[in-house]
Structure 1
Amino acid sequence: TGEYKWEKMERFAVWGGTLATGGDLVFYGTLDGFLKARDSDTGDLLWKFKLPSGSIGYPMTYRHKGTQYVGINYGVGGWPGVGLVFDLNDPSAGLGAVGAFRQLARHTQMGGGFIAFSLNGKSVYTEDPTVGEWAK
């Protein structure tokens, strides 16, 4: 129809894409460090998890041994990362693209990794994809 079904504003731009599942869930990561799940029909927030760093990655899903997982790479990079690295506290510092993310340091930190959750309610966390029972 060309019309928006729903829209939710975030504190900072959402640089990664979204993942829509057949189970009517929409997943996405935020620059201030959250992985969020929303109802695809209403946009209602169903779940969120604070990541160790902000995310510019795209969520992904996979099935292993009959269990479905959702995962995301996290770690701030690009222009938002420049503001974190240089700790832009001077009001005149970081004008332009970097200046738009000056407040980001209050909400996240540098760093990167991968996190995954099973959709059956059990969480799995690893930065090494060869670690953990689920990786076998």
Structure 2
Amino acid sequence: MCTPAENKPEEAEKLLKKSNEAKGCAYPPGCKNAVGAALLTEDGKTFTGCSIENSTPCLSACAECVAVWKAVSEGCTKFKSLAVCSDKKDYTPCGGCRQVLREFGDKTEIHMQLDGKAKTMTIAELLPMSTGGEAK
């Protein structure tokens, strides 16, 4: 189980718990690495996502993107933070997920496991010198 980052314990704890619950719904038959994500919007709504593999790799979906797509499909495009949990000891969002999140701003905080410890970084830190749509 992921543990919360020290600088945002309550928010991270709640999101990490939800991401762990979402991880239970993951479908990872190939890589065997279940991933869960929980996305908190600026208006306080939470959207979860899980990794969904497909035998055609380009049709697979990362947990982070599933959470973002669910939020956007319900009209939410202002994100505060996202927590991700994986069966692996260390996990950070992939480059594609970082860019999807960056589309909606560079200040979203990401709670994750890195080097065996809880870590919180912004999208700007995870994807420096990037551009996005700055959704309204």
Relative to the length of structure 1, the TM-score reads 0.27
Larger radius of gyration: 1
Higher relative contact order (CA 8 A, sep 6+): 2
Per residue, is there more strand in 1 or in 2? 1
Which one has a larger percent helix, Structure 1 or Structure 2? Answer: 2
